Structure 1
Amino acid sequence: MTDISNAAAPSTEQSSQPASSRYSYFVLGVLTLVYTFNFIDRQIIAILSPAIKEDLGLSDSMLGLLKGLAFAVLYTTLGIPIAWLADRWNRVNIIAISLALWSGFTALSGITTTATQLALARIGVGIGEAGCSPPAHSLISDYFPKEKRASALAIYSLGIPFGQMFAFLAGGWVLQELGWRNAFFVVGIPGVLLAIIMKLAIREPIRGAQDVQATTVQPVKFSQGLKQLMTIPTYWGVIAGVTFASFTGYGTGLWIVDFYRRTYELSYVEITVPLALLNGVAYGIGTYLGGYLTDRLGKKGKGAYGWVPALGMLLTIPCGWLSLWSPNALGAFLWSAPFLIGLGMYLGPGFSLVQTLAPIKLRAFATAFFFLILNLIALGFGPLWVGALSDIFAADYGEVTGLRIAMTTLAAFSLLSAGAFYWTSLKLPADWAKATGER
């Protein structure tokens, strides 16, 4: 089997020493901006969904397929070979190329005229986005030590609420004023320019520089690293916790505009402006809070990396129910705030655990395998789950109540997530000690 360190020798583009704190946060800021564009381009179809449904005459099941599985299939499967490459080649180049690719396909979505063409464009977006997070997580772990990774990856994960916020703001206004096709152009084209800026601004660091001296990193064969990864109980616990949490997140986020449009008959701007603020503020607070609390409380006990997100997911259950069944839009928006705070709290802890528990030479692969399971199940089937159930329940209860019932079932996945994270909190101290040498 090939030694995964064969192509990892420092190139002329690699930093020979760990980066300064100031530059580390600059890199983190650029990567967070890239991730913001990642979620702008991923979220935009949910905002345009009611107009696409009306224009192309689609069912909720077909919309769920376009929002989820069409995007997720190649996004998840290509993540593995791209991560294999990222563990061997320049990660900055991979992210820059991927950003240009998914932004271009987002813009091309604006010229589609059929569901098939739109599905192909979404597949293209998924191919590009497969090259974002695995190498980005690996880069961040080489710029920040393990004691700060939950906070650093929580900041990176702010790209999710920020991306959704900007998608709601730009997408809602452009949709109402210029139509859904032009919205794809507006959010897609700037990403190509950002790809150029990123390539010029970020240096490739030495792998493992924040964990041990680079000269002491022992070569690890792919098969040995994979075997080690598969035998870490809490790695699987984190995968389960994040997957179930993301099922709730994607099932809600990719249908929320349809929900407000049908249930309360609001205009697009009346829907997207409040949702932009809620995602940018409430979801952002929850995302940062999860990373901050676990890094702080984790100094006293590593189990905090499991029980903090577990509490967050428990919070989403009553708040989500109250939001979905509110008799008016104001109540629905207000209860969405604590729902989004709770939903954001798993991101930093979950992502940081993957990087800390994984062998240094397999960090990008560990993240890609993690995203393979998470996104194939959560992103691929979360929106489809809601869409298919909505069609089923609509036959007896109508489109409004049918969608409400379908989205309410997501509470079960929040409960499963909380259970998986709590189980992880019990097993984590032992696995953390094995991975880091800390006792």
Structure 2
Amino acid sequence: MTIVSPAPKPVSTSPRGTAPPPDARAWYVLAALCFVYVLNFLDRQLLSILAKPIQDDLGVSDGQLGLISGLYFALFYCFISIPVAWLADRTNRVRVLSIACALWSAATVACGLSATYPQLVLARMTVGVGEAGGVPPSYAIITDYFPPGRRGAALGLFNLGPPLGQALGVAFGASIAAAYSWRQAFLVLGMFGVAAALIVWLTIREPKRGRLDAPPVGATPAQPAEAPAQAKAGFIETVAMFFRRPALLLMALACGATQFVTYAVMNFTVLFLMREKGMSLQQVAVYYALLIGIGISIGMYASGRLVDRFSGRSKQAYALVPALGLAGAVPFFVGFVWAPGWQLALLLLIGPTILNYFFLSPAVTLVQEEVRPSQRVLSGALLLLVMNLIGLGFGPTYLGAASDHFRTAHPGNSLQLAFYTLVPFYFLAITLFLALARVLEGEANRTGDH
């Protein structure tokens, strides 16, 4: 087979903003990795999209759904990602990504074959194991195909994977489930993922680590940046570096608080709209799918462009862009939860759908820019470990438990009351991003990098 993306030639490293523009190979790689990310998130979100028919078939409660989509999944996804990322930093990142994609896709098929709740739990945990090897290697591969000054936009485009994955999951998953059954949706979409893994294996070549980075301070033409870029960073060294640096740790914690809200909302919105707002599965497949696909995509891409534009003037942009987005989302979120019917609820949901997702592109770009090339996969995995363990692990788990708690006294609107309790977590996330802005300002003042 003809290789679509030949191994890129080494490029002379250059200061921020002066590297050659990305070529056709880079754009193909970005498109292919974004497609894999779409499948990653699509497979991950199928459970929440098909929550009601799964509840009807297997007889599980909101709390059990929260555990299987939250804590059980996150424990495997987060902790397996660390050794996988360490391996990817030392070996071929494209191969690691391909194998991971094949594994989570096969596990998605197994979800569709599950006859009991314990079987579904086991299959979902295996999906988490596979997806642990998906995103961190992709971050690092993209960073080695796109130069500084272009990475925020590139990673913003890559981060369209979650909204597109969720939108396609809603559209196709709900449509297949409405026409056939929820099991068929898992089977069909899982098989697409296996095919995508093969495409990545055959058509993408591993880029040279750090080939587009600016040379370190003091480097000479006779001793360019390649030596530090190629040096293999130790596992303990990278972990210690990440958690010692206040900017990286605060970014991870702020993203975790944000994802506590976003994952809780994401995993229960379809059930909320159907059970308490009166939407049908067919209406969800059209209207909610369009809202998610367009809204989150705008938030991901716009925030990436904003940090590319403003981070050159001040690194505080990495923190202020997410903080302002979350502050603007709060009133719309409260209105969405309050709305008496699904039409008004969807209209008000546009605001949070866009603004809730102003955090991810700035977070990924900051981490990838701030660490050595040989530490990028593991550092990206550590970012995901903190934010997903907090957000994915506890957000859906908390919301499902809160809904079960309110159901005794308020059986008709238990999810509505549970959604209201997420508002304080918005303000926690905003506070953490503002603290990060102060840290970034202090670092800039010490180094003279304004």
- Report the alpha carbon displacement of residue 55 of structure 1 after superposing the two structures with TM: 1.1
Deviation string, structure 1 residues 367-406 (Cα, Å, up to 9, x no partner): 11111121122111111111100010111111x3211111
Deviation string, structure 1 residues 307-339 (Cα, Å, up to 9, x no partner): 011011112211111001101111100011111
Provide the rounded CA distance (Å) in 1 between the counterparts of 2:130 and 2:446. Answer: 35
1:416 partnered with 2:428: yes
Provide the rounded CA distance (Å) in 2 between the counterparts of 1:181 and 1:107. Answer: 9
Provide the rounded CA distance (Å) in 2 between the counterparts of 1:60 and 1:434. Answer: 50
The one of 142, 146, 154 equivalent to 2:148 is 146
Matches within 5 A, 1:292-303: 292-303=305-316
Residue pair 2:335, 2:345 contacting (<8 A) in 1 also = yes
1:67 partnered with 2:69: yes
Provide the rounded CA distance (Å) in 2 between the counterparts of 1:140 and 1:264. Answer: 41
CA separation of 1:121 and 1:294: change in aligned 2, threshold 3 A: same
Find the counterpart in structure 2 of residue 5 from structure 1.
none
- Report the alpha carbon displacement of residue 146 of structure 1 after superposing the two structures with TM: 2.8
Residue pair 1:316, 1:411 contacting (<8 A) in 2 also = no
Deviation string, structure 1 residues 65-106 (Cα, Å, up to 9, x no partner): 111122111111100100110110000000011001101110
The one of 329, 341, 345 equivalent to 1:328 is 341
Find the counterpart in structure 2 of residue 184 from structure 1.
186
1:275 partnered with 2:288: yes
Provide the rounded CA distance (Å) in 2 between the counterparts of 1:366 and 1:221. Answer: 12
Q: What is the DSSP-based 3-state SS (H/G/I as helix, E as strand, rest coil) of the residue aligned with 1:397?
A: coil
Find the counterpart in structure 1 of residue 16 from structure 2.
none
1:216 partnered with 2:216: no
Q: What is the DSSP-based 3-state SS (H/G/I as helix, E as strand, rest coil) of the residue aligned with 1:265?
A: coil
Residue pair 1:154, 1:288 contacting (<8 A) in 2 also = yes
1:227 partnered with 2:240: yes
Provide the rounded CA distance (Å) in 2 between the counterparts of 1:434 and 1:108. Answer: 53
- Report the alpha carbon displacement of residue 431 of structure 1 after superposing the two structures with TM: 4.2
Residue pair 2:336, 2:349 contacting (<8 A) in 1 also = yes
Deviation string, structure 1 residues 141-165 (Cα, Å, up to 9, x no partner): 1112232222111111100100011
Q: After TM superposition, what 4+ stretches of structure 1 lie above 6 angstroms from structure 2?
A: 432-435
Find the counterpart in structure 2 of residue 17 from structure 1.
10
Q: What is the DSSP-based 3-state SS (H/G/I as helix, E as strand, rest coil) of the residue aligned with 2:99?
A: helix
Q: What is the DSSP-based 3-state SS (H/G/I as helix, E as strand, rest coil) of the residue aligned with 2:410?
A: helix
Considering only aligned residues, what root-mean-square deviation do their CA atoms show, in Å? 1.8
Matches within 5 A, 1:28-427: 28-211=30-213, 212=215, 213-217=224-228, 219=231, 220-398=233-411, 400-427=412-439
- Report the alpha carbon displacement of residue 166 of structure 1 after superposing the two structures with TM: 0.2
Unaligned runs of 5+ in 2: 1-5, 12-19, 216-223
Residue pair 1:357, 1:432 contacting (<8 A) in 2 also = no
TM-score (ref. length: structure 2): 0.91
More moved, 32-41 vs 416-425: 416-425
Provide the rounded CA distance (Å) in 2 between the counterparts of 1:168 and 1:194. Answer: 20
Aligned length: 425
Residue pair 2:239, 2:382 contacting (<8 A) in 1 also = no
Residue pair 2:303, 2:321 contacting (<8 A) in 1 also = yes
The one of 411, 420, 428 equivalent to 2:440 is 428
More moved, 138-147 vs 243-252: 138-147
Provide the rounded CA distance (Å) in 2 between the counterparts of 1:266 and 1:217. Answer: 56
- Report the alpha carbon displacement of residue 176 of structure 1 after superposing the two structures with TM: 0.8
Provide the rounded CA distance (Å) in 1 between the counterparts of 2:226 and 2:372. Answer: 16
- Report the alpha carbon displacement of residue 221 of structure 1 after superposing the two structures with TM: 4.0
Residue pair 2:242, 2:249 contacting (<8 A) in 1 also = no
Provide the rounded CA distance (Å) in 2 between the counterparts of 1:295 and 1:82. Answer: 29
- Report the alpha carbon displacement of residue 345 of structure 1 after superposing the two structures with TM: 1.0
The residue type equivalent to 1:17 in the other structure is P
Residue pair 1:234, 1:428 contacting (<8 A) in 2 also = yes
TM-score (ref. length: structure 1): 0.93
Residue pair 1:232, 1:431 contacting (<8 A) in 2 also = no
